[in-house]
Amino acid sequence: MQAKIVAYHRPASVDEALALLARTGVTSALVAGGTQAVPHLRSLPTADQPDEIIDLQALPLTDLTAGDGEARAGALVTLHALAECEALPGTIRDAARRAGPNTLRHAATLGGTLAAGEATSELLAALLVYEADVIITDAEGERTPALADFLADPDRMRGSGLITGARWRTDGRSAAARVARTPADDPIVAAVARRTEDGGTRLAFCGVAATPILVRPEDIDAQIDPPSDFRGSSEYRSAMANILTARVMEELAIV
Ligand SMILES: Cc1cc2nc3c(=O)[nH]c(=O)nc-3n(C[C@H](O)[C@H](O)[C@H](O)COP(=O)(O)OP(=O)(O)OC[C@H]3O[C@@H](n4cnc5c(N)ncnc54)[C@H](O)[C@@H]3O)c2cc1C
């Protein structure tokens, strides 16, 4: 790789990171765990590389708290920490565990997962059914878009904002089901459903759209238009979405 990147910053506070992001005339890339960002940066032609790297790993955003039906986590909380937190719903812990091998889970962060919005992220599907909000901090303060709205925006990381954390519900019952080529592979399609305390049902998929999505539990075919790729055709994914929905609904005794 020809090097263009000329500076590396490791801010110790959110204010310092925001000040670095707010500068004009300098292009920069945020790196948290680096599991996606570093390979991406290495793949860029020199002309497309940013001038600077802003490494977020020293930011004090590693708190993870859960209780009274709600959880809150800083952007630098790792997928390993989510998987190990016994106060979190099992579907969230299992999804974090399945995101990758141990080494990846110790590096990859919640903030990076939210920003990346990977189509196959079972963790994002689980967070969707638990009514997650993303916490974004910029020069104007904090805003908390619903995760579903955040993921639906293809330009979600525009401007000089930083994901500083997320919050979500932990109450209700949930179930997850997936199809994948092997147990360790990314899912072709996965479904997560949650029965809320007030009797409502939330259903989310990954693998049927550009990002994980929330859908209404009825008439699923009218709401999805899955892409085709080497893992499965659009028709196969639609069929699996319906079958997996039936499985999670049955597990939650919602029929
Ligand atoms: C082998 C392998 C398997 C993977 N499997 C999965 C999987 O199953 N599911 C899945 O969802 N992902 C998967 N990924 C993708 C990636 O690892 C995850 O999205 C990961 O959680 C990203 O976290 P990170 O902290 O490493 O982010 P980074 O790689 O550091 O950053 C990812 C993106 O988010 C931005 N970003 C990071 N933190 C912030 C922040 N606080 N504010 C704003 N922007 C930010 C970065 O600029 C970059 O664009 C996989 C990656 C690899 C290499």
Query: What band does 2 get if pLDDT is binned at 50, 70 and 90?
Result: low
The percentage of residues in the chain with a pLDDT greater than 70, rounded to a whole number, is 98
Question: Which atom in ligand 1 lies closest to the alpha carbon of residue 79?
Answer: 21
pLDDT one-digit tens code per residue, 78-110 = 999 999 999 999 999 999 999 999 999 999 999
Quickly count: other Cβ atoms within 10 Å of residue 32's Cβ: 26
What's the rounded mean pLDDT across residues 32-56? Answer: 95
**Strands, DSSP E only, in 59-115?**
64-67, 70-74
148, pLDDT greater than 70: yes
Element (H, E) at 30: strand 28-31
**173-251: CATH architecture:** 2-Layer Sandwich (3.30)
Which CATH code fits 64-169? 3.30.465.10
Pocket test for ligand 1, best of 8, 14, 30, 36 (most atoms within 8 A of CB): 36
Query: What separation in Å is there between the alpha carbon of 199 and the centre of ligand 1?
Result: 34
1, pLDDT greater than 60: no
> 173-251: same fold as 64-169?
no
Query: What separation in Å is there between the alpha carbon of 109 and the centre of ligand 1?
Result: 7
pTM of the model: 0.95
Query: What separation in Å is there between the alpha carbon of 22 and the centre of ligand 1?
Result: 22
Query: What band does 245 get if pLDDT is binned at 50, 70 and 90?
Result: very high
215, pLDDT greater than 60: yes
- 165 close to ligand 1 (CB < 6 Angstrom): no
Lateral strand order in the sheet of 201-206: 173-180, 187-195, 201-206, 213-215
Look at residue 183 and give its three-state secondary structure.
coil
Pocket test for ligand 1, best of 13, 30, 147 (most atoms within 8 A of CB): 30
195, pLDDT greater than 70: yes
- 186 close to ligand 1 (CB < 6 Angstrom): yes
- Give me Rg for the CA atoms of the chain: 19
Nearest CA to ligand 1 atom 1: 100
Closest CA to 51 of 31, 26, 78: 26
Q: Parse the chain into domains and list their residue ranges.
A: 7-55, 64-169, 173-251
Question: Which atom in ligand 1 lies closest to the alpha carbon of residue 61?
Answer: 41
